[in-house]
């Protein structure tokens, strides 16, 4: 699956494809999406998200929203050129957040398997 397809395909197809992808492939997609949004520092974004993960508890009502906001804070401020482009940017941000969360989950699972 190409990065463009991750952004445009229906949610069911994307989630199935993301589950089967390797970490390196997911990271490459995340880097490309970040670059489209104007952020070239993948490591800084991942560091910010990873730092917030331990503070997300079961009581946190909107964990996805918290992670999405952390990623959004890492993006450069882009002047809004209309509601339609802002809506499209939000959809890309949602897809990026899903990819980042899958990366973190897979990395965590890999670490747990290696230490077990």
pTM to 2 decimals?
0.88
Angle at 35 between CA 104 and CA 9, to 5 degrees: 70
Instruction: Report the number of distinct structural domains present in the chain.
Output: 1
Residue-wise pLDDT for 66-96, tens only, equals 999 999 999 886 545 555 577 888 999 999 9
First to last CA, the chain: 32
CA atoms within 13 A on the CB side of 34: 24
pLDDT tens sequence across 89-106: 899 999 999 999 999 999
Give the domain extent around 71.
Answer: 3-115
């Amino acid at each position: 699956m190409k990065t463009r397809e991750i952004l445009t395909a229906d949610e069911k197809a994307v989630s199935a494809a993301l589950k089967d992808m390797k970490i390196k492939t997911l990271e490459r997609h995340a880097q490309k999406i970040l670059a489209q949004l104007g952020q070239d520092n993948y490591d800084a974004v991942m560091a910010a998200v990873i730092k917030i993960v331990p503070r997300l508890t079961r009581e946190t009502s909107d964990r996805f929203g918290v992670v999405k906001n952390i990623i959004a804070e890492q993006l450069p401020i882009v002047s809004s050129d209309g509601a339609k482009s802002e809506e499209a940017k939000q959809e890309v941000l949602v897809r990026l957040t899903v990819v980042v969360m899958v990366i973190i989950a897979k990395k965590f699972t890999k670490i747990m398997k290696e230490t077990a």
